Amino acid sequence: SAPAAPARPPGAATAGDVDLAGTYDITSSRNPGGQGSYAGNVLLSRSGDTYRIAWIIAKGAGYEGIAFLQGQTLAVGWASGGPYGAAAYRIEGDRLRGQWIASDRPGQIEAETLQGPEGLTGSYRIVEGSRSGTVAIARTGDTYAVTWTLSTGALKGVGLRSGDQLVVGWSPGQPVGVVSYAIEGRQLTGRWASLGSSQAGAETLLRR
């Protein structure tokens, strides 16, 4: 008989499901708190089952990030350097089932399940996955503060919730941010935030 197909993280897209690589124009934007807008374009390139993303801003510094698909969402972590990553979880009662990626592990998606209180606030245990430890989640206005306490050290993150999904950008402590894009054909409609901020910005991209 044929060997069983390898398991993949629940909700994660397979490499052949969709390809978002290309150049996108920023068609609308809003900084957190409504403090102005910005223009430019965004480059998405494939890296295994993940993506590299680069923002080229017309007036200001650019940014780079890494991303992966969970359902119809592109989950992004971005930073100006150093190790960082992104995570996305499906909220299922007292369990958060998700995946994460790291800038020093290009192309790889790791599965992770957390268990803790319902309501997306409090202390959660990592019950499935390659990492061991706890995760603290707290609501902070439009965003969530997420802190992993692992055997290898602590990670700090900023999260955004959309329905039953939590998307987080994380790092060992340096500045990092998150974007959660909804995929709508050629258009990506996103919300974004930076570590330590309680407010979210908005950004819409259109593929050329």
The pLDDT of residue 2 is: 41
In a domain, 191, yes or no: yes
In a domain, 202, yes or no: yes
- Cα–Cα distances in Å, from 61 out to 23, 64, 111? 18, 10, 33
How many structural domains is the chain composed of?
Answer: 1
In a domain, 132, yes or no: yes
Look up residue 26 and give its amino acid: I
In a domain, 2, yes or no: no
In a domain, 50, yes or no: yes
Distance of CA 83 to the CA centre of its chain: 14
Query: Which residues constitute the domain of residue 120?
Result: 22-207
Q: Mean pLDDT per segment of 10 residues, for the chain of length 208 residues?
A: 41 61 98 93 95 93 94 95 94 97 94 97 97 97 98 96 97 94 97 97 98
The pLDDT of residue 58 is: 92
Q: For the chain, give the longest Cα–Cα distance.
A: 61
Contact 88, 75 (CB under 8 A): yes
Contact 158, 193 (CB under 8 A): yes
In a domain, 17, yes or no: no
In a domain, 116, yes or no: yes
